[in-house]
Amino acid sequence: MRIKYTISVVFFVTLVIIEKENNIISRVSDKLTPRQTPQTPLQPSGSSHELLKNNGSFSQLNKMDSAFTLMKRRLENYSEYQSLVTRGRKHILLLATTRTGSSFVGEFFNQQGDNMFYLFEPLWHVEKMLTLETGGTNATASAKAYRDVIQKLFLCDFSLLESFIEPLPVDHITPNLFRRESSSSLCEESVCSPVVKGVFERYRCKTRRCGPLNLTMASQSCLQKEHRAIKSVRVRQLETLRPLAEDPRLDVRFIQLVRDPRAVLASRMVAFAAKYKNWKQWALDGDVPIDDDEVRKLKGNCDNIRMSAEIGLRQPPWLRRRYMLVRYEDIARFPMRKATEMYRFAGIPFTPQVKSWILKNTQASKEASGVYSTQKNSSEQVEKWRFSLPFKIAQVVQRVCGPTLKLFGYKFVSSEEMLMNKSISLIEDKMFNFL
C-alpha cells in the first residue's frame, strides 16, 4: 500500500507540472502558430486527462515514464518558442502626431521588403469607436485600448482590433479596414482574396485588385514575417506603452517623430480646414484669444509630445536602447542618412528596395506632391510653412509650445522679417542620444 500511495503522489505531482507547462505552451503556441481564425485557440493534447483515469499501480510505471518524457519534450519546445520569439525579430513602433511626415517616414519600413509586416494607423478604428462611445473624454481607457491593440498586432493577433471595426467583420472578413492600401503587407498575393461582385470596398490595393480583407489570412501572413512595424499618430504618452517594452515576447523599438509645432499647425490649417477654421479666421483678421479651447488643445498636444520625449531621452531602464527621437526636418534634409540611422537603431537590414524608394520619393516634382502624398521634394518642405503662417500665429505657438520648441532645437522668431528670411535657419544642429 505504501509503494502504491507513493507512486500515486509522484504521479499526481507530475500531472500538475505537465498541466501548468501545457498551459504555457498553449498560450505561446496561440501567438506563434497559424490558426484557422485569430480567435480559435489551440486545444490541449488530452494526454494527462487519460492518465488521470489510472490508479497508480506498478503497471503504470511505463506510463509515468512516458509522462515525464512528454513533459521534457514540451519544455524543450517551449524553449524553442521563446527563442523563436526573440531571435532577430524586431517590432518597430513609429509614434507621431498628424502632419509631422509620419506617412512618409512610415514608408521607410513599408518598403523594406518581404520580411516586414507593416500596418498603417490600425488605431484609427479604436479611436473612432471610443469617440462614439465616450466622446473621447476617457484618456485612460483610450491609452489602455491603444496599448492592448498594438500588443496583439505585434503578436499577429487581429482579434482585438477586429472588435473595434464597424461594422463588425463577418467570419473575420471586412471591406472596411482603414487605409488598407497603405500597407504593402495587406496587399500581397497571399492576403489578396478574390474580388466579390457587389461588395463595396472603400479602398483597393494599388498593386492588384483584392476583395475584402480576410483577417485570418493577414494573421497568418504576419506570422511568417521576420519583422513587424506599426505607424500611429494616436498614442499620446510614451509612458503608457511601458508594458510593451517589458513583454518578453516582444523586442520593441520606439521611434518618436517630431516636427516644428509651427510647421505642424500651418499644415493642419491646410489639410483640416474645417477643423481649423478658427485659426484661419484669426490668421486673417483677429487676435488669437489665448484662453480659447483650440489654443489649450495646441498646448496640450505640445506638452504630451515633450513629456514623451523627455522620458525617452532620459533612457529609464525599460527604455534603454529602445527609444529614438527623430526630427522631420532632419529626415527631409538628409533622408538617406537618417533612414540609415533608423534602420541601424531598429536592428534590421537597410535594403536596396528602401534606398531606391527614398531616392525616388524625396525628389518629386511639384505636381506629384499633394497634401496627403508621400512623394515630396523633401528639402523644400522644411521651409515651406514659413511663408503661409502669419507671424502673429507663430507668436502664439511660441508662447504655448515654448518648452517643446527649445527641447527639439527649433529657434524662435522675433519678427515677421525673420520668419520669412530663408537665409536664417530656424533649426539648430542638435544631436539626440538614442544608443
Give the H/E segment covering residue 140: helix 139-154
Q: DSSP string of 161-179?
A: HHTTSSSPPBTTEES--TT
Query: What residue has cell string 488521470?
Result: 52
The per-residue pLDDT for 324 is 97
DSSP β-bridge partners for residue 227: 116
Q: Beta partners for 232?
A: 95
pTM: 0.78
Three-point CA angle 227, 230, 231, nearest 5°: 140
161-172 per-position pLDDT tens digit: 999 999 999 999
In the structure grid, which three cell numbers stand for residue 327, read together? 526630427
The closest of 244, 269, 256, 265 to 306, measured between CA atoms, is 256
Q: How far is CA 302 from CA 12, 305, 408, 410, in A?
A: 60, 5, 11, 13
Which residues of the chain carry a pLDDT beneath 70? 1-87, 136-137, 196-203, 364-380, 434-435
- Output the pLDDT for position 62: 53
User: Is 387 exposed, middle or buried (CB count within 10 Å of its CB: 0-12, 13-18, 19+)?
Assistant: exposed
pLDDT of residue 39: 46
CB 279 within 8 A of CB 61: no
Give the Cα separation of 237 and 303 in Å (integer): 10
The predicted structure's pLDDT at residue 217: 96
Place of cell 518597430: 92
What's the CA gap between 113 and 281, in Å, rounded? 45
Question: Which three cell numbers, joined as nine digits, stand for 61?
Answer: 510505471
Q: What is residue 37's predicted lDDT score, i.e. its pLDDT?
A: 42
Q: What pLDDT is recorded for position 69?
A: 56
pLDDT at 295: 97
Residues 428, 415: Cα–Cα separation, whole Å: 18
Domains in the chain, start-ordered, CATH in brackets? 2-86 (no CATH), 89-115+241-435 (3.40.50), 117-225 (no CATH)
- What is the C-alpha to C-alpha distance for residues 304 and 407, in angstroms, rounded to an integer? 13
d(CA 135, CA 140): 13
Helix (H, G, I), strand (E, B) or coil at 326: strand
Q: What is d(CA 21, CA 26) in angstroms, rounded to the nearest whole number?
A: 9
What does the DSSP 8-state code read for residue 28? H
Length of the chain: 435
Q: How would you class 26 by CB atoms within 10 Å of its CB: exposed for 0-12, middle for 13-18, buried for 19 or more?
A: middle
pLDDT at 57: 45
